[in-house]
Amino acid sequence: MKPLLYYIFIVAIIPGMLIGVQTQESKINFTDHGGTQTYLSMRYPGYEKEFLLGHYDPATYPNFSKAYRFCKEGNIYLLDEVYDAFIEMAEAAQKDNIHLNIISACRNFNHQKALWEAKISQLSAGLFQFLDPLRQKQIVELALQFTAMPGTSRHHWGTDLDLNSSDPNFYDSDAGIKIYNWLLANAADFGFRQVYSAHQDRSGHDVEPWHWSYYRLSIPMYFNYIDKIKNSDIKGFSGDAYLSELHIIPMYVSGINPEMK
């Protein structure tokens, strides 16, 4: 009996356990307006590290489009599915006399690096490389209040949008409150959620009422990122040496609205 059970275990149970694990990992549950649904990663079989880190050009990357409707700025790129969903949302908003427009969408690594370096340079009066490590770390922490490190920004994914204004004061005005309340009430119906939300248990970047993400694609991307990206993959900019010490991935990349992961 013992050898037979042994073979049953090897032939049937172990592969069954492996399949079970794979199936669990390949499904992503999220709560939609229709209830809890499951996205099969078969539809989105996986994202390359280089894509997740923003090392590509959205102007030539497959399934990306240049946005021309409901945009305040030029050169706005985002994934086709995200753009279609956004247009649907912006048209619905218009019927409620709410005017949505995109001020920033896909930013690749180099684009994010330019924003990051400008902020570091501003905060250190251009002297970052000459500062001692403790002061450098403080400058990096300060910069993180305004912008994500290159390689850790969700804007690399083509799923995340900044809407109307990135000035927090705007969202204290009547016009800003009206837009924000409309988004809170309706955006999820079109596949969008606020990433840097007001949840108490969230770490990382400050609340951003303007930053919305197409969660139907960005949730699978987030899980790909957490599975695949290591600190050593994120480099090539001022302050990259503090990535691990400042717990950038757990505190910032994962410091998002709990409904986004």
Nearest to 211 by CA among 259, 162, 173, 142: 162
Span interacting with Zn ion, options 34-42, 43-51, 86-94, 207-215, rule CB under 5 A: 207-215
What is the distance in angstroms between the CA of the first residue and the CA of the last residue of the chain?
46
Asked if 240 is part of the footprint of Zn ion (rule: CB under 5 A), the reply reads no
Q: Half-sphere exposure (CA, 13 Å, Cβ side) for 143?
A: 32
Q: Half-sphere exposure (CA, 13 Å, Cβ side) for 163?
A: 35
Rounded least distance, CB 206 to Zn ion, Å: 12
Rounded least distance, CB 11 to Zn ion, Å: 51
Asked if 113 is part of the footprint of Zn ion (rule: CB under 5 A), the reply reads no
Span interacting with Zn ion, options 18-26, 66-74, 203-211, 253-261, rule CB under 5 A: 203-211
Asked if 211 is part of the footprint of Zn ion (rule: CB under 5 A), the reply reads yes
Q: Which residue is nearest to Zn ion (CB)?
A: 211
Span interacting with Zn ion, options 53-61, 156-164, 225-233, 238-246, rule CB under 5 A: 156-164
Beta bridge partners of 162: 104, 211
Rounded least distance, CB 225 to Zn ion, Å: 16
Closer CB to Zn ion, 103 or 131, in the complex: 103
Give the one residue of 157, 162, 194, 248 binding Zn ion; rule: CB under 5 A: 162
Rounded least distance, CB 116 to Zn ion, Å: 13
Nearest to 39 by CA among 197, 219, 166: 219
Task: Name the residues that contact Zn ion, by CB under 5 A.
Answer: 162, 211
